[in-house]
Structure 1
Amino acid sequence: MADMDILGAENGSHGRYSVTVDGHEAEMTYSRASPHLVIVDHTAVPDALRGRGVGQALALHAVEQARAGGWKIIPLCPFMRAQAVRHPEWNDVVNV
C-alpha cells in the first residue's frame, strides 16, 4: 500500500490515529496510562479496506510514535497484539 496520511489526535488521556482511504476511515484508539505508557485498546478497519495493509500501517504508526515519544505500548486490542507477535522488532516499545 502506498504511504498513508495517518492523523493523530489526543483529548486528555484518550487518543486516536486515523486514516481515510478511498472514502473509508480506519482508526486505532488508545489511552495514555502515564506519560510513558499507552494502551492500544481498539482497531477498526472497514470491510472495504480489509487486506490492504491499513491496519498494519496504523500499528506501525503507533510503534513509530512510541519510539519518537519515548513511551511503551500495551496492546490490549487483539489486532495490535497479533501484529506485535508477528513483529518481534517492535519489542523495544510493545509489551506483549
Structure 2
Amino acid sequence: MKTLESLTLKNNTEKKQFELLVENNLARIEYIKTQDKIYLTHTEVPSELEGKGVGTAMVHKTLEWVKNNDLTLIPLCPFVALYIKKNPEYKSLVLKGINIA
C-alpha cells in the first residue's frame, strides 16, 4: 500500500464528497457546502480498509482542505468530531458555539 500521506484527496463536487482511493477501494466523506461553511456529514471507509488509518488520513486531508479554502466547519459526523477532539489544532475551523467535547 502506498503511504496514506502520498495519496491525493479528490473533491468530487458533483457527488458532494471528498474521496480517497486506496487499494482500488473508495473511502469518502460526504459534505454540504454553503458559501462560507462546510458541513461534514458522513465518513465511510470500505471494510477492507478498516483499521489501517485510512479514515484518519482522509479526515486530516479534508480538514487541511477546509483550512486552505477559508471555510467554517460544522462537523456533523462523529468520526470527524472525534478527530478534532484528538487534534485540537483544528478546533479553530469549527463554527463558534459548537462544542467538541
Q: Same fold (TM over 0.5)?
A: yes
Identify the TM-score tier after normalising by the shorter chain.
0.7 to 0.9
Higher strand share: 1
**Structure-to-structure mapping, 1:56-75, within 5 angstroms:** 56-75=56-75
- Is 1:53 the counterpart of 2:53? The answer is yes
Residue equivalent to 1:88 = 88
Q: Determine what percentage of the aligned residue pairs are the same residue.
A: 25
Which segments of 5 or more consecutive residues in structure 2 lack a partner in the other structure? none
Contact 1:4/1:57 (8 A) holds in 2: no
CA distance in 2, matches of 1:45, 1:71: 24
How many equivalent pairs are there? Answer: 93
**Structure-to-structure mapping, 1:3-82, within 5 angstroms:** 3-11=6-14, 15-32=16-33, 34-82=34-82
Instruction: Describe the SS at the equivalent of 1:56.
Output: helix
Which AA in structure 1 matches 2:28? E
Which segments of 5 or more consecutive residues in structure 1 lack a partner in the other structure? none
Over 2 Å off, 4+ runs: none
CA distance in 2, matches of 1:67, 1:36: 12
State the Cα distance separating 1:64 from its structure 2 match: 0.8
Over the residues paired in the alignment, what is the CA RMSD in angstroms? 1.6
